[in-house]
């Protein structure tokens, strides 16, 4: 079984391949600019920026966390509570609206797209995936459900070579992933399997009749005002990368986190069913890894966010990319950075919840 940290270590070897395949001081904005969000892309929700103490956060503790984040190569660190940004820093060339690679944060976005498609009636996660992937019909892969793909216990072939070289360098990543063999029965082995997750591109595009990237833009990014976010593809132009490839900003990812903190609701509209949010992040999706939901990491045993409540969950990507949500305090923490430039991780982001959070409301 590949752990969260093990997955990150394995992905380190692939960063140079991914880059080849893909054709000084910081500003604490919330301290300097407590006005409304000047960078809003929509006419609806607008971030309010306030001083940390107004949001129940300790500025001194936040500054220590930000100092460490800067030292570890972060390009941005953002802390929000509800509709308020309480702290926000940019370093090393990072800016409010310049998107960077989110790596496996992509997976949690992909999961959400599946939830939206299910709410539309386009698919059911208990469907056999072969309903949407004809190549699997009549093979051992016919037993795999969409839920298995979301839970990482599908039994699809996994190896360092397939996941961190073959998939990344494939001209058509979805076709490559679909064409791998079925190694085990579903529910027997848990693997952090990028290639298996990439097959969700086929599931989504077949079920919705749209390219996954277009579906994401229309049903998630645009409604949330995530104007600097996009899902990328591959050299073929036919696939959307659903295991990695998201490009986003701290503010956009904070919107995504706020959506989940609010049970899938956004400005009076239910973008994602509350039932989906509860299923995706409310508990383990399978019996093999208690810290994994539906393409989200959980804090079930306290290892994701030491000292924080077990309800905390996160989307995590290589290089310390973190979107962490604490639904009890309505707090969202986002950290992005250049891969390989430090060792800031989810447990570092969790310090916001354990060291800086002074009140639950």
User: Which 8-state DSSP code applies to residue 243?
Assistant: S
222-266 pLDDT, tens digit per residue, is 999 999 999 999 999 999 999 999 999 999 999 999 999 999 999
Q: With 60 as the cut, is the pLDDT of residue 42 above it?
A: no
| Whether residue 57 has pLDDT greater than 70 | yes
Convert the pLDDT of each residue in 167-217 to its tens digit: 999 999 999 999 999 999 999 999 999 999 999 999 999 999 999 999 999
> How sure is the predictor about 89, in pLDDT bands with cuts at 50, 70 and 90?
very high
In percent, the amount of the chain with pLDDT more than 90 equals 85
Would the pLDDT of 26 be above 60?
Answer: no
CB 48 within 8 A of CB 84: yes
User: What is the reported pLDDT for 338?
Assistant: 85
CA gap 272, 265 in Å, rounded = 7
Please give the pLDDT value at position 35. Answer: 36
Give residue-wise pLDDT tens across range 149-167.
999 999 999 999 999 999 9
Closest to 221 measured CA to CA, from 255, 258, 260: 255
Lowest mean pLDDT among 30-39, 43-52, 77-86: 30-39
As a whole number, mean pLDDT of residues 13-38 equals 45
CA torsion 105-109-114-120 (nearest 10°) is 170
Nearest to 207 by CA among 114, 145, 273: 114
pLDDT at 339: 78
Distance from C-alpha of 329 to C-alpha of 201, rounded to nearest angstrom: 34
Domain map (residue ranges) of the chain: 26-107+212-234+242-356
pTM exceeds cut of 0.85: yes
CA distance 149 to 129: 8
pLDDT exceeds cutoff 60 at 310? yes
pLDDT one-digit tens code per residue, 272-284: 999 999 999 999 9
Mean residue pLDDT across the chain: 91
| Residue with more model confidence, 323 or 35 | 323
Residue 33: band (very low, low, confident or very high) from pLDDT cuts 50, 70, 90: very low
Contact (CB, 8 A) for 142 and 126: no
Q: Which residues contact 143 (CB under 8 A, 6 or more apart)?
A: 128, 185, 186
Note the residue count of the chain: 361
pLDDT score recorded for residue 343: 80
Say if domain 26-107+212-234+242-356 classifies as CATH 3.40.50.300.
no
Alpha-carbon Rg for the chain, nearest whole angstrom, is: 19
Tokens matching residue 334? 């986002």
């Amino acid at each position: 079984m590949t752990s969260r940290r093990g997955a990150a270590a394995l992905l380190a070897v692939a960063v140079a391949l991914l880059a080849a395949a893909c054709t000084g001081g910081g500003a604490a904005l919330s301290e300097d600019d407590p006005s409304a969000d000047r960078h809003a892309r929509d006419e609806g929700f607008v971030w309010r920026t306030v001083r940390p103490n107004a949001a129940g956060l300790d500025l001194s503790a936040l500054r220590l966390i930000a100092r460490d984040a800067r030292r570890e190569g972060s390009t941005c660190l953002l802390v929000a509570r509800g509709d308020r940004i309480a702290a926000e820093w940019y370093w090393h060339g990072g800016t409010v609206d310049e998107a960077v690679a989110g790596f496996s944060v992509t997976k949690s976005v992909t999961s959400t797209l599946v939830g939206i498609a299910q709410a539309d009636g386009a698919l059911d996660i208990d469907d056999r995936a072969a309903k949407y992937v004809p190549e699997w019909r009549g093979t051992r892969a016919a037993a795999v459900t969409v839920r298995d793909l979301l839970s990482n216990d599908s039994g699809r072939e996994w190896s360092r070579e397939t996941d961190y070289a073959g998939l990344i360098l494939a001209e058509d990543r979805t076709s490559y992933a679909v064409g791998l063999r079925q190694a085990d029965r579903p529910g027997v082995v848990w693997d952090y399997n990028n290639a298996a997750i990439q097959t969700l591109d086929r599931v989504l595009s077949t079920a919705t009749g749209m390219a996954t990237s277009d579906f994401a833009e229309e049903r998630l990014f645009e409604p949330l005002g995530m104007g600097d976010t996009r899902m990328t593809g591959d050299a073929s132009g036919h696939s959307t990368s659903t295991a990695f490839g998201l490009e986003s900003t701290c503010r956009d990812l904070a919107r995504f986190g706020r959506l989940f903190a609010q049970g899938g609701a956004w400005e009076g509209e239910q973008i994602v069913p509350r039932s989906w949010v509860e299923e995706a992040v409310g508990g383990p999706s399978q019996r093999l890894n208690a810290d994994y939901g539906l393409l989200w990491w959980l804090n079930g045993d306290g290892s994701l966010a030491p000292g924080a409540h077990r309800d905390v969950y996160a989307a995590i990507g290589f290089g310390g990319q973190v979107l962490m949500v604490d639904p009890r305090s309505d707090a969202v923490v986002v950290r992005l950075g250049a891969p390989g430039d430090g060792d800031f991780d989810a447990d570092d982001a969790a310090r916001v919840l354990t060291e800086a959070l002074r009140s639950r409301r």
